[in-house]
Amino acid sequence: MDLSKPLAYRMSPKTLDDYVGQEHILGKDKILYRTIKADRLSSIILWGPPGCGKTSLARVISNTTKYKFTKLNAVTSGIADIKNAIEEAKNSFLNPSGRCILFIDEIHRFNKLQQDALLPYVENGTVILIGATTENPYFEVNKALISRSMVFKLEPLTEKDIYKVLKNSLTSEEGLGSYKIRIEDSTLQKIAMASNGDVRTALNGLEVAVLTTNMDQDGYITITDEIMKECVQTRKAVFDKNGDSHYDNISAFIKSLRGSDTDAALFYLARALNAGEDPVFMARRLVISAAEDVGMANPQALVIATNAMQAVTMVGMPEARIILAEATVYIATSKKSNAAYLGINKALEDVAHKDTGTIPLHIRNAPAEGMSKFGYGVGYKYPHDYPGHWVEQQYLPDKMLGTKYYIKDDTVD
């Protein structure tokens, strides 16, 4: 093993038995485990956050398969690289089986044309595709490829899994076994917790700590909690502003507001801000929630949310967090009514799909002299001329008489 390579690379598993985590798909009774062991793999898509073991699993497959194994990275590869891999697979002299396993890392980076180039070879069995992606493949990968592949979702590694890998790295000859390292188990557990399910982050942090810490007089490298705080990146939520997790977090934020769970709403707000989300984007979600979910139960919520959006635009971070928090708490704790939301949706549905008739003549506009002889505006009753500023008269078209759009609920005063 080349010890100049990163620790995370050196500690990658070589066999399925070395692989740590993902028991839900790699348990010994699971189909993925059995097909890899039997070398009967069909095309698969591995979907999961960074550092959860997608590439490591591909390496394990490359070590166990009898087929030619080719790796491409979608960031640096194009159609020409795909064609070269396929031509090599079809070369009966170099590859008697006529098939290959083609691992494409970050497959979501391939455009539609590049993904389409794979399709006929996946379909006829020349290529057994292994695609790895951090993005939701149902959004980012062609449906035709998805339909010909099995999708496996990898979860962030547990703290227990990451602790196990860290512990192994301290004694492994391919890891840090050549160093005399003194580190408490509690410190390893803190590294595992801070890495947020990303084993690569944990191993990188440990390696930096070891390589940048001087030996004690007794020849040991002592790693303390304080040293690890400097070497492990600040814990971040698994959150990509352009990816699936972005929409998951926003969905959770809006649903928490709607469900009047103030603590959950503040949590998802913090998660978004911690990941670098645009505070104005969060403010716009609050405006929408105020109108859609609070509605007529507390119309003031829309005023507060709109003012909050304006204030966030003016102030910016980090103070914008306070404004967003105040508006979040107000909306979450307000009574809720979606009557106006349901009303406009039903009206739009009718306008788009029904014969709704014509506007009654007496409430039509009659700006030009002579239009009244056609009935425009004739008979209109001005409500302010009547007691209580209201008078009975028809406003809906004849075909829509009796239709109810706004149905006031018991949360509206």
pLDDT in the model for residue 236? 54
CA 263 to chain centre: 21
Per-residue pLDDT at 109 exceeds 90: no
Residue 58 and residue 117 in one domain:
yes
Residue 98 and residue 48 in one domain:
yes
The pLDDT tens digits for 378-391 are 889 999 999 999 99
412 lies in some domain: no
Q: Please give the model's pTM, rounded to 2 decimal places.
A: 0.66
pLDDT in the model for residue 139? 83
CB 275 within 8 A of CB 236: yes
Confidence of residue 188 (pLDDT cuts 50, 70, 90): very high
237 lies in some domain: no
Confidence of residue 111 (pLDDT cuts 50, 70, 90): confident
pLDDT above 90: percentage of residues in the chain = 44
Per-residue pLDDT at 290 exceeds 90: yes
CATH label of the domain that carries residue 125: 3.40.50.300
Domain boundary among 333, 355, 382: 333
The pLDDT tens digits for 356-371 are 999 999 888 877 677 7
Residue 117 and residue 139 in one domain:
yes
393 lies in some domain: yes
126, burial (CB in 10 Å: exposed 0-12, middle 13-18, buried 19+): middle
Calpha distance 10→168 (Å, rounded): 12
Q: Give the chain's domain count.
A: 4
- Averaged pLDDT score across all residues of the chain: 88
CATH label of the domain that carries residue 167: 1.10.8.60
Q: Which residue has the higher pLDDT, 239 or 48?
A: 48
Residue 62 and residue 146 in one domain:
yes
Q: How many CA atoms lie within 13 A of 297 on its CB side?
A: 21
The pLDDT tens digits for 54-99 are 999 999 998 888 888 889 988 888 888 888 888 888 887 777 777 8
Which of 26-40, 85-99, 196-210, 325-339 shows the lowest mean pLDDT across its residues? Answer: 85-99
Domain boundary among 153, 187, 204: 153
Residue 69 and residue 92 in one domain:
yes
127 phi and psi, to 5 degrees? -115, 125
CATH label of the domain that carries residue 249: 1.20.272.10
State how far the alpha carbon of 68 is from the alpha carbons of 41, 79, 84, 150, in Å: 13, 19, 13, 20
The pLDDT tens digits for 119-174 are 888 888 888 999 999 888 888 888 889 988 999 999 888 999 999 999 999 999 88
Residue 58 and residue 136 in one domain:
yes
Amino acid at 355: D
Domain range for 382: 344-400
Residue 28 and residue 139 in one domain:
yes
30 lies in some domain: yes
Domain boundary among 184, 205, 231: 231
Amino acid at 265: A
Residue 223 and residue 139 in one domain:
no
CB 154 within 8 A of CB 52: yes
1 lies in some domain: no
Per-residue pLDDT at 242 exceeds 70: no
Calpha distance 141→149 (Å, rounded): 11
Residue 126 and residue 89 in one domain:
yes
Residue 365 and residue 329 in one domain:
no
Residue 110 and residue 222 in one domain:
no
269 lies in some domain: yes
Top-confidence range, 203-212, 224-233, 366-375: 203-212
Residue 87 and residue 41 in one domain:
yes
pLDDT above 70: percentage of residues in the chain = 96
14 lies in some domain: no
284 lies in some domain: yes
